[in-house]
Structure 1
């Protein structure tokens, strides 16, 4: 697990775990639920061009940090062995979070149910 996710007080908090905090240059990211457009699982995203990295880490099968592509910033903290959750955002520094978490399907369903209310 690269990240811990919490939802409290109408906010999604992403907490990179272990060395991922250092590699991603983030100790946490907090997003109001009303800034989340949706969450999906997308295994093919790991094979796409991620854009320009900085700051962050990219080694074979591991991405951690900020990537900029087509003028948009994306936060990645995932490894190939994990199921990637993609969270689309609005009105935030990042337009997309690509995360490795335990119980990916349950988290995507839970997030989508919360934002559809």
Structure 2
């Protein structure tokens, strides 16, 4: 699972527990100027992932790490699709972050409010 917070003018994502190992990342910091928006999307787990490099993917268990699809890099950290949030980015290494969070509605509201 990931913790999402706003720190000044940055969106900060911190991976918890073993997710750091599976995702090959412990945290990400993205300037809010490069965040386009956030949505709760439990159905995204069923979408094609592309190929992973590096990361872990066991269908129905975990999707974590960097995935390449249609010329884009997408960062995943999801075990429970019902808690998935998608954060769209611009001018960043990743075009999107797909994260499992504790409370998707609260996380989406946090990001959207920070963008206003």
TM-score, normalising length: structure 2: 0.94
The number of residues matched between the two structures is 115
Flag structure 1 segments of 5+ consecutive residues without an equivalent. none
Query: Aligned Cα RMSD in Å?
Result: 1.1
Displacement after TM superposition at 1:4 (Å) = 1.3
Q: Give the drift of 1:81.
A: 5.2
Gaps spanning 5+ residues in structure 2: where?
none
Counterparts of 1:82 and 1:26, CA distance in 2: 22
Runs of 4 or more off by more than 4 Å in structure 1?
none
Give, in angstroms, the shift of residue 82 of structure 1. Answer: 4.1
Secondary structure at the aligned position of 1:105 is classed as helix
Q: Does the residue aligned with 1:21 lie in a helix, a strand or coil?
A: helix
Task: After superposition, give the CA deviation of every residue in 1:61-116 in whole Å (9 maximum; x if it has no partner).
Answer: 2101000000000000011354100000001000000000111101101211221x
Give the TM-score taking structure 1 as reference length: 0.93
